[in-house]
């Protein structure tokens, strides 16, 4: 477990919209063309025209999203969740608190802010568990998992599109309990990482 992520994992300056996209590595396969086909306030989509090892060419489509953070927050013998309806899948999900990393923030700073805003808990300590690339066949998107502890109640500050309820579950058996049904990937991954570190 990394105690702090302030060591410059992302080069400055960060774009003004809060996205933390680091420059991509130099390609192993020749990029003949790279096109942005659409941009929204949420993500950018496009493709790279790639020359494959056999000499053929193919468009590899991608969507680029701002980096996000997922928070595994423990208060005494319980884990903090949010329950919210997800219009994209038309289901209500029990999820770990999460959100977009804003310009100038480290993952741990973003995690503390999101936890305060969504749940009304302010952590006294945060630790970076893992940084990952997500769905690399289609996305340019990084996600970090942060453990938070020493929680103190504060006022929530929800965004105008956040309609969620705070829920807690006992630490004992929380991984198995959340894996019942069809949970989202970030919640399962965060719990498994924290469990592997002996934090749950």
> What CATH code is carried by the domain that includes residue 77?
3.90.79.10
Q: Is 2 exposed, middle or buried (0-12, 13-18, 19+ CB in 10 A)?
A: middle
Number of compact structural domains in the chain:
2
In this predicted structure, the answer to whether residue 196 has a pLDDT above a threshold of 80 is yes
Q: Are residues 75 and 109 in the same domain?
A: yes
- The conformation of residue 87, written as its DSSP 8-state character, comes to T
Q: Is residue 17 part of a domain?
A: no
Instruction: Look up the pTM and report it.
Output: 0.87
Domain boundary among 48, 65, 82: 65
DSSP for 21-79, please give it: -PPPPPPSS-EEEEEEEEE-SSEEEEEEEEE-TTS-EEEEEEEEE--EEEEEEEETTEE
Q: Are residues 185 and 96 in the same domain?
A: yes
37-78 confidence digits (pLDDT tens): 998 878 889 999 999 999 999 999 999 998 999 999 999 999
**Domain of residue 129, residue span:** 68-196
Q: Is residue 6 part of a domain?
A: no
Alpha carbons 6 and 107: distance in angstroms, whole number: 8
Q: Is residue 23 part of a domain?
A: no
At 23 the pLDDT is: 75
Domain boundary among 44, 65, 86: 65
Q: What does residue 84 show for φ and ψ, rounded to 5 degrees?
A: -150, 155
Q: Are residues 116 and 56 in the same domain?
A: no
Q: Is residue 16 part of a domain?
A: no
Q: Is residue 48 part of a domain?
A: yes
Q: Output the CA–CA distances (angstroms, integers) from residue 114 to 117, 118, 119, 174, 193, in the order listed.
A: 5, 6, 8, 21, 19
């Amino acid at each position: 477990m990394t105690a702090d992520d302030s060591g410059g994992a992302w080069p400055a300056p960060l774009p003004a919209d809060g996205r933390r996209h680091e420059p991509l590595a130099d390609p192993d396969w020749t990029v003949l063309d790279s096109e942005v086909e659409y941009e929204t306030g949420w993500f950018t989509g496009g493709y790279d025209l790639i020359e494959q090892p056999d000499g053929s060419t193919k468009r590899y489509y991608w969507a680029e999203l701002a980096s996000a953070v997922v928070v595994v927050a423990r208060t005494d013998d319980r884990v903090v969740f949010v329950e919210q309806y997800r219009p994209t899948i038309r289901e209500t999900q029990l999820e770990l608190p999460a959100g977009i990393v804003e310009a100038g923030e480290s993952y741990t700073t973003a995690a503390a802010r999101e936890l305060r805003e969504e749940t009304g808990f302010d952590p006294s300590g945060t630790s970076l568990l893992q940084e990952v690339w997500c769905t690399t066949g289609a996305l340019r998107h990084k996600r970090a998992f942060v453990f938070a502890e020493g929680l103190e109640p504060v006022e929530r500050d929800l965004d105008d599109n956040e309609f969620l309820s705070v829920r807690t579950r006992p630490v004992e058996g929380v991984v198995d309990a959340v894996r019942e049904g069809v949970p989202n990937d970030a919640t399962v991954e965060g719990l498994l990482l924290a469990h592997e570190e002996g934090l749950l």
